[in-house]
Structure 1
């Protein structure tokens, strides 16, 4: 049986992960590609997640970073990137994975938040395709 504390920790970690990943995407689109439209779309998704985070701010109380068993684990493929485009795509994937986790775990806590995460996840799929079509040639 799951504990509410575990759910809160999962939500906290994945809200942070998804927002951080989208910030990386936004900054690369903004500063490397000067793409106001795509950067603004990314910022909008991140803001949408911020509104979810505000509803669930108490998840921070369950944060236990110092005792998290995976904070010191880094896989070899995480250590190197070949280009800003590779970083961009890796962070799209990171955001999508964390949004999927949120969608599932929120089913135990808030159906509304679960549906909002699902919507955000689909928006990132669409945005990733736009970015890929526009910049994969570089």
Structure 2
């Protein structure tokens, strides 16, 4: 039995070490409360299962100096280019260790093996959520022109025509922003834009309403300062959902990052009728861009006449509403903006 004890000891250690790597990634890199909690609970459950095994025998069977695999390694073991590489490797190490524990526990403790099997499937879910969060960040990082569509501002064309024009003109993401519409109307508009963005491969973000976003399968939701906490909104959305937060100060931007936002919107940069907050100016945008690593979206009063000013400050993404919705030719208006962006 000593050989089995050594195998179980080594793989319980591997699993716990992998979970610590995953937990720290969720906590310090992704700022994701759900991933952090899942990994933490995993470690606790694993300890409880270890307590059901002959722990003393496992420890005394350990022979690190005599381990023939200690000196064996492959080039891939040290090939880590990004945080995502580190986290992905930890997920693979976790599921492999759990499978080994499951198989060898069948000899010593079949009930432990059954519990480990369930845990292994949960580990696949944890891996999927972690990978989805990294993919989410990568997807939004590609957005340069973020078109905010509001039916009340679409005076020269229908909401669908404006949205189609924005997509054709170069917008990588659409946000449906409806502050006064009834739920049934809001839902119908969201479904219409979801169909359009599915056809064209663009992102659809719903303003304020994670419930509507969940129903139509939107790519994410944008939340204001007084909307749901990000952790609560994530409970309603799919694991790879993008969540942005409006911010009006450096303190609010840092708070949004700690909450787990995937991007932050800063504004209103210029005077606008669509925002209730005082103008913050390009200066705050520059200050926040210098302090944070998340994608930063400049928003509020942005037009083709002033977008270039923000680009010169280093802005990589702007959100535009009136200049597109009010345009007689939304496609041309969007193209004019798109040409100004990096």
- Does TM, scored on the shorter chain, surpass 0.5? yes
Report the counterpart of residue 111 of structure 2 in structure 1: 112
- CA distance in 1 between counterparts of 2:15 and 2:115 reads 13
Gaps spanning 5+ residues in structure 2: where?
Answer: 139-342
Task: Tell me if 1:53 matches 2:50.
Answer: yes
- CA distance in 2 between counterparts of 1:54 and 1:19 reads 14
Gaps spanning 5+ residues in structure 1: where?
Answer: none
SS in 1 for 2:118: helix
Q: Which of these two proteins has the greater Rg computed from alpha carbons?
A: 2
- Length-normalised TM-score, structure 2: 0.39
- Length-normalised TM-score, structure 1: 0.93
Aligned length: 135
- CA distance in 2 between counterparts of 1:80 and 1:21 reads 16
1:45, CA displacement in angstroms? 1.0
Residue of 22, 25, 33 corresponding to 1:25: 22
Map residues 1-138 of structure 1 onto 2, 5 A cutoff: 4-56=1-53, 57-58=55-56, 59-136=58-135, 137-138=137-138
1:85, CA displacement in angstroms? 0.7
SS in 1 for 2:51: helix
1:54, CA displacement in angstroms? 2.0
The structure where strand makes up a greater share of residues is 2
The structure where helix makes up a greater share of residues is 1
The CA RMSD over aligned residues, in Å, is 1.0
- CA distance in 1 between counterparts of 2:31 and 2:133 reads 12
- CA distance in 1 between counterparts of 2:84 and 2:48 reads 28
